[in-house]
């Protein structure tokens, strides 16, 4: 990539204008904006992450197809080019807020005993998919076993598709997939009994419901069948899993316990302003922790958060 900007040095005494938790599309986009405002930015990332697992992203503007790994590597290079500092293999374990001579001060701790100081924090740590134990999952994950209809539903077109999960959402997903992508749809309901009326609706749509749980996947090269816990084998070329995900937010526990950081009444995401500022001034939350689950949306939220945060930094630094 061509050099376009001055590399910024770390802020004096290791005090950063913003510390970003997570080098996914959300955190990296925020870093690019903030660095281009001349702010000092440190990104801490523990590695892995959902976007890195995506083998083919086809819905991100300007790329016909790109792997999540390549998207992240390009984003990291771009953020570093504009001066972002990056520490990899760093697991954030705590975020606290105090004051320093009237200025806000965040203290971020890491698993290896590190303690980082910053005026603000952007949390972009994403989520982890909840998945049952399924034999051979590693062979087919993100190739023919998918966890997100917005990401990969398109790749089930015309395929024998199994929808696996344990909620009403699993049934609604099956109806949607049948309408949009595939004629041959089977639902495997794992430990869940649908409310009255669903069985008829599914039958009318031509979708079989099987009350069982996935056990293993098989096929020569491509996926061709899924074995269930009962021993039954169903033919399938694609699987959409709908067990949901768990937020990567354990490092926010203290702020929550103090009652300063609030979750939305659903308990599934954090309360934020429309600029993604949380109930703690100077702490922004984007991506799945704010309720969205798409790479390009996380990136957009990173841009919105960074623009708003920069206005706040202008205010506090100029004493307004």
Ligand X SMILES: Cc1cc2nc3c(=O)[nH]c(=O)nc-3n(C[C@H](O)[C@H](O)[C@H](O)COP(=O)(O)OP(=O)(O)OC[C@H]3O[C@@H](n4cnc5c(N)ncnc54)[C@H](O)[C@@H]3O)c2cc1C
Minimum CB distance to ligand X, residue 103 (Å):
25
Q: In this chain, which of 42, 85, 92, 95 binds ligand X, going by CB under 6 A?
A: 92
Taking the C-alpha atoms of residue 131 and residue 150, their distance in angstroms, rounded to an integer, is 18
Stretch 127-166 residues interacting with ligand X (CB under 6 A)? 129, 142, 147-148, 151
User: Does residue number 296 form part of the binding site for ligand X (CB under 6 A)?
Assistant: yes
Q: In this chain, which of 17, 32, 45, 95 binds ligand X, going by CB under 6 A?
A: 45
Contact call for residues 298 and 285 (beta carbons, < 8 A): no
User: Does residue number 235 form part of the binding site for ligand X (CB under 6 A)?
Assistant: no
Minimum CB distance to ligand X, residue 241 (Å):
10
Taking the C-alpha atoms of residue 152 and residue 76, their distance in angstroms, rounded to an integer, is 24
Place of tokens 């009652």: 259
Find, among 134, 147, 146, 143, the residue nearest to 212 by Cα.
134
Q: In this chain, which of 18, 31, 49, 305 binds ligand X, going by CB under 6 A?
A: 49
User: Does residue number 287 form part of the binding site for ligand X (CB under 6 A)?
Assistant: yes
E strand segments, the chain: 15-21, 41-45, 85-88, 92-100, 103-110, 115-123, 127-129, 145-146, 161-165, 185-189, 208-211, 214-218, 225-228, 233-235, 238-242, 245-247, 283-285
Q: In this chain, which of 16, 27, 39, 164 binds ligand X, going by CB under 6 A?
A: 27
Nearer to ligand X, 141 or 202 (CB): 141
Minimum CB distance to ligand X, residue 195 (Å):
29
| Interface stretch with ligand X, choices 11-19, 75-83, 290-298, 303-311 (CB under 6 A) | 290-298
Contact call for residues 59 and 296 (beta carbons, < 8 A): yes
Find, among 243, 238, 239, 216, the residue nearest to 228 by Cα.
216
Q: In this chain, which of 8, 15, 37, 53 binds ligand X, going by CB under 6 A?
A: 53
Taking the C-alpha atoms of residue 288 and residue 66, their distance in angstroms, rounded to an integer, is 21
Q: In this chain, which of 124, 170, 242, 310 binds ligand X, going by CB under 6 A?
A: 124
Minimum CB distance to ligand X, residue 128 (Å):
8
Nearer to ligand X, 25 or 282 (CB): 25
User: Does residue number 126 form part of the binding site for ligand X (CB under 6 A)?
Assistant: yes
User: Does residue number 51 form part of the binding site for ligand X (CB under 6 A)?
Assistant: yes
Find, among 256, 257, 289, 255, the residue nearest to 272 by Cα.
289
Nearer to ligand X, 53 or 275 (CB): 53
Report in angstroms the alpha-carbon separations of 45 from 14, 48, 124, 184, 212: 18, 9, 10, 41, 38
User: Does residue number 40 form part of the binding site for ligand X (CB under 6 A)?
Assistant: no
Minimum CB distance to ligand X, residue 296 (Å):
5
Q: List residues binding ligand X (CB under 6 A).
A: 21-27, 44-51, 53-54, 57, 59, 90-92, 124-126, 129, 142, 147-148, 151, 248, 251, 287-288, 293-296, 298
């Amino acid at each position: 990539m061509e050099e376009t900007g001055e590399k910024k040095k770390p802020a004096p005494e290791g005090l950063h204008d913003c510390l970003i938790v997570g080098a996914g599309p959300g955190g990296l986009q925020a870093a690019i904006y903030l660095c281009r405002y001349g702010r000092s930015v440190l990104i801490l990332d523990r590695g892995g992450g959902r976007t890195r697992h995506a083998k083919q992203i086809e819905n991100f503007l300007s790329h016909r197809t790109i792997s999540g790994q390549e998207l992240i590597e390009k984003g990291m290079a771009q953020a570093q080019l504009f001066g972002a500092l990056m520490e990899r293999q760093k697991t954030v374990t705590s975020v606290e807020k105090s004051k320093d001579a009237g200025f806000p001060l965040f203290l971020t701790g890491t698993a290896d005993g590190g303690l980082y100081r910053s005026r603000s924090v952007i949390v972009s740590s994403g989520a982890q998919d909840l998945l049952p134990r399924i034999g051979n999952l590693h062979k087919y994950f993100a190739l023919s076993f998918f966890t997100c209809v917005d990401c990969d539903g398109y790749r089930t077109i015309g395929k024998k598709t199994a929808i696996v999960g344990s909620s009403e959402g699993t049934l609604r997903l099956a109806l949607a997939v049948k309408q949009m992508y595939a004629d041959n749809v089977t639902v495997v309901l794992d430990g869940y009994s649908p409310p009255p009326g669903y069985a008829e609706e599914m039958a009318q749509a031509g979708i079989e419901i099987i009350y069982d749980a996935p056990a293993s996947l098989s096929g020569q090269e491509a996926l061709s069948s899924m074995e269930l816990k009962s021993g039954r084998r169903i033919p399938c070329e694609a699987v959409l899993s709908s067990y949901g995900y768990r937020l990567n937010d354990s490092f926010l526990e203290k702020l929550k316990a103090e009652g300063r950081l609030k979750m939305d009444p659903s308990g599934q995401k954090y309360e934020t302003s429309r600029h993604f500022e949380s109930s703690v001034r100077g702490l922004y939350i984007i991506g799945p922790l704010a309720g969205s689950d798409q790479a390009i949306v996380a990136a957009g939220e990173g841009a919105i958060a960074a623009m708003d945060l920069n206005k706040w930094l202008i205010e506090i630094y100029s004493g307004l």
